[in-house]
Amino acid sequence: MRYTAEPAFVLHARAWRESSLLVEVLTAEHGRLGLLARGVHGSKRHLLRAALQPLQFIRFDAVQRGELATLAGAEALDAAPRLGGEATLAGFYLNELTLRLAPRGDPQPELFEAYASARRRLGEGEPLAWTLRRYERNLLDALGFGFDWTSDSEGAPVDGAARYRLDPEAGPRRLLADRGHADRRGAATGRALLALAADALPGDEDLASLRRPMREVLAYHLGPRGLKSWEMLGELARVSSGE
């Protein structure tokens, strides 16, 4: 198969042998693709190397005869967002999550657009937690893993005053009022779920309540091997707290 002037976002690139790169990209028409970029370390190939960095939006030509497509050429279509601090880690998380869950070779136009929006928001400095929760929601929806954020697993409307755990298969499960404090602390508020459904930024406490339940859903689909970015986030939290 031949790809000509194919738009894509670079998710990951790693060295292969002495002068080549193995690159993973996300496209709208073909989903995730693996590319073999040969001879990228020459003195005259710096523009190509720059185009193949994670978060870069590119246009590429390639020929595929096996699992990997051999890259014929690529050019950057814009400047990748310049991130620093926690935003850098957020960008790494965005790419790692997409790399792990997006299947190869399946058209993913909705996920492509969701990734483009999240990438833009990272560059514009929007609240990181809200950018990531929206992308997680959109990724689950695009891959067929999503559910109705406004109704619980019994079909009842989500109550903004209640708390919910997220069942990866059935969606929000309402917690009883007499459940333990620790159990409720790890649950999302109904207000947060309704805000996520409406794409409306919730308050800080409600937004924070989404992190753990969303991670549990993603962990279910990822399987036994978690994400390196989660480990890094945990280490950052320990350092920040002085542990």
Q: Is residue 81 part of a domain?
A: no
What would the two tokens of residue 164 be?
């919910």
Range of the domain at 11: 2-76
Pairing of strands 57-64, 69-76: antiparallel
The residue type found at 207 is L
Q: Is residue 17 part of a domain?
A: yes
Q: Rounded distance, CA 157 to CA 196, Å?
A: 14
Tally the domains of the chain.
Answer: 2
Q: Is residue 192 part of a domain?
A: yes
Do 67 and 98 lie in one domain? The reply is no
| Contact between residue 58 and residue 51 where contact means Cβ atoms under 8 Å apart | yes
Q: What is the pLDDT of residues 120-160, one digit of tens each?
A: 999 999 999 999 999 999 999 999 999 999 999 999 999 99
SS3 200: coil
pTM as predicted: 0.92
Do 42 and 72 lie in one domain? The reply is yes
Q: Rounded distance, CA 135 to CA 31, Å?
A: 16
Do 131 and 213 lie in one domain? The reply is yes
Note the pLDDT of residue 243.
46
Domain end position, chosen among 53, 76, 99 = 76
Do 40 and 98 lie in one domain? The reply is no
| Contact between residue 1 and residue 33 where contact means Cβ atoms under 8 Å apart | no
| Contact between residue 95 and residue 11 where contact means Cβ atoms under 8 Å apart | yes
Domain end position, chosen among 76, 104, 119 = 76
| Contact between residue 98 and residue 117 where contact means Cβ atoms under 8 Å apart | no
Q: Rounded distance, CA 149 to CA 172, Å?
A: 7
Q: What is the pLDDT of residues 178-219, one digit of tens each?
A: 555 556 677 999 999 999 999 999 999 999 999 999 999 999
Domain end position, chosen among 27, 50, 76 = 76
Q: Is residue 162 part of a domain?
A: yes
Q: Rounded distance, CA 161 to CA 26, Å?
A: 39
Count, residues in the chain? 243
Do 99 and 158 lie in one domain? The reply is yes
Q: Is residue 129 part of a domain?
A: yes
Note the pLDDT of residue 32.
97
DSSP letter at 124 equals: H
Query: What CATH number is attached to the domain comprising 16?
Result: 2.40.50.140
Note the pLDDT of residue 151.
97
Note the pLDDT of residue 239.
47
Q: How confident is the model at residue 17 (pLDDT cuts 50, 70, 90)?
A: confident
Do 10 and 57 lie in one domain? The reply is yes
Do 94 and 213 lie in one domain? The reply is yes
